[in-house]
């Protein structure tokens, strides 16, 4: 008899998903992002905490894609850790940080 393993799911944070529990989100002061640059066509990366699942990542991607002159957004999701968000386009880093924080996540250096 052959048994099939259930599909592997991303682990959730023990306290629940931060994107589904707005009360658990806390704002933090804006901290400069890694590779900060407002030069044309740059792709700065931001270290973001609080992304616990694909829905969290999608929330951040949608918030950033709503900004003018954002060409692309990539999220390297590190469940339970610090995720890397890379933004391609000509957008001031302050706007990127604000959009991420307004979506309910913290930007680190």
Query: Using CA atoms, how far apart are residues 77 and 25, in angstroms rounded to an integer?
Result: 18
Alpha carbon distance 109, 105 (integer Å) = 13
User: What pLDDT score does 42 carry?
Assistant: 74
- Check if the beta carbon of residue 56 is closer than 8 Å to that of residue 20: no
The residue extents of the domains of the chain are 32-108
Domain 32-108 has CATH 3.20.20.60: no
- Name, in order, each residue with C-beta under 8 angstroms of 8's C-beta and a sequence gap of 6 or more: none
Instruction: Convert the pLDDT of each residue in 51-99 to its tens digit.
Output: 999 999 999 999 999 999 999 999 999 977 899 999 999 999 999 999 9
* pLDDT at residue 25 tops 60: no
pTM: 0.66
CB 83 within 8 Å of CB 57? yes
């Amino acid at each position: 008899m052959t048994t099939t393993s259930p599909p592997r799911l991303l682990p959730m944070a023990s306290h629940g998903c931060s994107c589904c529990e707005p009360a658990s989100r806390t704002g933090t002061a804006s901290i400069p992002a890694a590779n900060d640059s407002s030069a044309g066509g740059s792709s700065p990366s931001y270290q973001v905490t609080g992304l616990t699942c694909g829905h969290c990542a999608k929330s951040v991607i949608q918030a950033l894609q709503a900004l003018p002159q954002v060409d692309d957004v990539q999220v390297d999701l590190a469940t339970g850790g610090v995720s890397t968000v890379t933004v391609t386009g000509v957008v001031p880093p302050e706007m990127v940080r604000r959009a991420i924080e307004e979506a309910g996540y913290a930007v680190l250096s």
